[in-house]
Amino acid sequence: MKQKLTSGIKRIVVIGSSNTDMVIRTKNLPRPGETVLGGTFFMNAGGKGANQAVACARLGGAVTFVCKTGNDVFGHQAYQLFDDEGIDPSYVFSDPKNPSGVALILVDDNAENSIAVASGSNSNLLTSDIDSSLDAIENSEIVLMQLEIPLKTIDYAAQIAKSRHKMVILNPAPAPSEPLPHSILKNIDLITPNETEAEIISGIPVVDEASAIAAAKRIAELGVKKVIITMGSKGAMLYENGEAEFIPSIRVKAVDTTAAGDCFNGALTIAISEGRSLKDSVLFANRAAAISVTRPGAQVSMPYRHEVDVANF
């Protein structure tokens, strides 16, 4: 479903990963050394960057996606999918040496998941590719990134975007192996970690509301003035201008939580681009994410705008 752009829509650039997800649904997640039989298999498009780009596009955004895929069938399929979703694919670069990224995902009957990723061409998205994407960044208002591409590239893209007075949003997922460098944090306007990611960035374990506030305050001291910590079924905590507020999640029967965070971040970015307050943006993102978890798959689970607008929770 291609989107027709209308005047007044702020352009969003998503910089990140594109993967093909190979998913097995099974009764239980296998323990180390265990084989679980009887699962069902399906394959669909994924990758945190691509998921968030599709979420933005389906919710009404004018989206350009910067990524790198392999010169293989998965890469060619991804390019066509982005075009079909109404995403500008002009900056989807083809890597002649590395294969497209692949994720192996196990999902159990409780909608819990276990994921392993072979990054492939995602690991070869370089600062030179960001240089080749300057026109897209120049013509955008918001740049959204995640951590499935090299930190050096994220650092460089954040510097470029900030120097051009763009709003920079970082979803620090998957969880970094160590605290993020100050060179990145100082160029981020809004960061959206979950509890684990917030602990790694701040050094403060997030186990309840008080510790979430302490972690957000520490992250703000590190340079990011707006923080949203997503806390699963407990909702989200937003921290802005030294004030914290907790917003409850929407209770639904979850089928697959694989891309819930990606849907949340895409929807949050759309709401911000429309001029909504941070609180209203979180409320909108909660609605979109609640719909996404009732469906299997990653990109395919992302709701369209009319579905979010009419949802009755």
**Could you give the CA distance from residue 226 to residue 189 in angstroms, rounded to a whole number?**
6
Beta bridge pairs of residue 101: 19
Burial 131-151 (b: 16+ CB within 10 A, else e): eebeebbeebebbbbbbbbbe
Q: How far apart are CA 215 and CA 203, in angstroms?
A: 8
In degrees rounded to 5, what are phi and psi of residue 146?
A: -135, -170
> Can you read off the two tokens belonging to residue 304?
């369209």
Q: Which helix (H) or strand (E) holds 273?
A: helix 260-273
Task: Give the count of beta carbons closer than 10 Å to the beta carbon of residue 93.
Answer: 18
Q: Which residues are catalytic?
A: 262
Q: Which residues, in sequence order, are CB contacts of 39 under 8 Å at separation 6+? A: 24, 25, 26, 27, 106
| Residue 28 near residue 143 (C-beta atoms within 8 A) | no
